[in-house]
Amino acid sequence: MSVDDEARAHKVAANQSRFRRANERLERAALSHRFEEADRLPFLCECADPGCFEAVILSIAEYRQVRSHPRRFLLVAGHEEAEAGHEHIVEAENGYAIVEKIGRAGVEVARLHASDTTRP
């Protein structure tokens, strides 16, 4: 992998992790406001585009399923990275996609996730 690829993988990982943190906060806030696991919320698309603020409607339980994998992200269908190599599509149905980061990007997002979850 070239230096450019490496830098890009890092940038994409950091951006996607930022949206993941926002969604985790949304999930916690909903639960503290007595939402049920089956209730549906608009989760932010966790794609690589820093300007994307589209939402995916998922139940809290469905979102948790995605989130239980440190390398997986929730995306609006079609927002998968055009340049493959950093991720593969796990699921693409119902208007949304779940992708799993692989290679360097996968290591990076798993590391960021671990540091997020240990933060108070």
Name the residues that contact Zn ion, by CB under 5 A. 45, 47, 52, 76, 79
Q: Which of 2, 11, 21, 18 is nearest to 81 (CA)?
A: 11
State phi, psi for 42 to the nearest 5 degrees. -85, 100
Residue 45 or 58: the one with the smaller Cβ distance to Zn ion is: 45
Question: Smallest distance from the beta carbon of 46 to Zn ion, in angstroms?
Answer: 7
Nearer to Zn ion, 21 or 35 (CB): 21
Pick between residue 9 and residue 97 the one whose CB is nearest to Zn ion.
97
35/90 with CB nearer Zn ion = 90
- State the nearest-atom distance from the C-beta of 72 to Zn ion, in Å: 15
The minimum distance between CB 100 and Zn ion, in angstroms, equals 16
How does DSSP assign 4-72, residue by residue?
Answer: HHHHHHHHHHHHHHHHHHHHHHHHHHHHHTT--TT-EEEEEP--S-TT---EEEEEHHHHHHHHTSTTE
Least separation, in Å, of the C-beta of 95 and Zn ion?
12
